[in-house]
Amino acid sequence: MTEDVKVRRTMRKSTSGDGASPASASGTRARAKATPPQMVFDLFADVAPELTCGVDEVGRGPLAGPVVTAAVILDPSRPIKGLADSKKLTALRREALYEEIVERSLAFCIAEASVAEIDSLNILHATMLAMQRAVRGLSRVPTLALIDGNRCPVLPMRAEAVIKGDDKVPAISAASILAKVARDRQLAALHDEFPQYGFDEHVGYGTPRHLEALRTHGPSPHHRQSFAPVREAFEIFGTLTVSRAVRSS
């Protein structure tokens, strides 16, 4: 207890609200009953305010690649303009905001669940696992986690689901941007290895071009075997038939 708190407690016991001495012991007891709420406020005056992190995922629907999540604790003293659902931003704007979020946030973490984990656990549980990794990877421990969507992973702190939170809560918007940019970069790198699938165009989603590539070339090691179009391609080709492609100059 600080010396300041001790002084204020002593003053409350010895004086009345107008500075006069208490008339009786009963008056002192009555004032003592009213003192604790104020004392609680005083004792916890130096405790840091609640730290809230926003959490979002990218990549639940694609046929290939990991599901990527991010957790972000924004710094109120360093606001970032233009935060929004990553799907509503251009790629150029997302890249610019990505750099601002990394520079200005109090803490952030990008995590993922692999294709093998998706196939083993199913996409929902793999997403929850990736969210847990993102929150636990923060350099500062939040007291509240706001999760985009209608379900929350099991976390050591209070968590609340926010439907369409990536368009309502700035910290969730920031998380969606980090996750989207990080995953898009991964799929661009996969395109360099496997250009026949067009990962740079559809980032793993089941577009007509992607489905046609699966039927023509079979699945790559980065395709999710538990997803129906990929499973059907495996049934046709039997095993993984695609090796890393050598790009011609």
Give the CATH number, domain containing residue 56: 3.30.420.10
Residue 222 CA neighbour count, 13 Å, CB half: 21
Number of domains comprising the chain: 1
Mean pLDDT on 126-150: 97
Q: Considering the domain boundaries, does residue 40 fall inside one?
A: no
Residue 92 makes CB contacts below 8 A (sequence gap 6+) with: none
DSSP run (H or E) holding 96: helix 91-104
pTM: 0.77
Say yes or no to pLDDT of 231 above 70: yes
SS3 helix, strand, coil % of the chain, rounded to 5? 50, 15, 35
Please check whether residue 205 lies inside any domain of the structure: no
**52 φ, ψ (degrees, to nearest 5):** -110, 130
Strands of the sheet containing 52-58, edge to edge, are 107-113, 67-73, 52-58, 144-148, 158-162
Q: Is 148 annotated as a binding residue?
A: yes
- On whether residue 3 sits in a domain, the answer given is no
Lowest mean pLDDT among 1-5, 79-83, 165-169, 177-181: 1-5
Residue percentage of the chain with pLDDT more than 90: 73
State the residue range of the domain holding 124.
52-193
Dump pLDDT digits (tens) for 179-195: 999 999 999 999 999 99
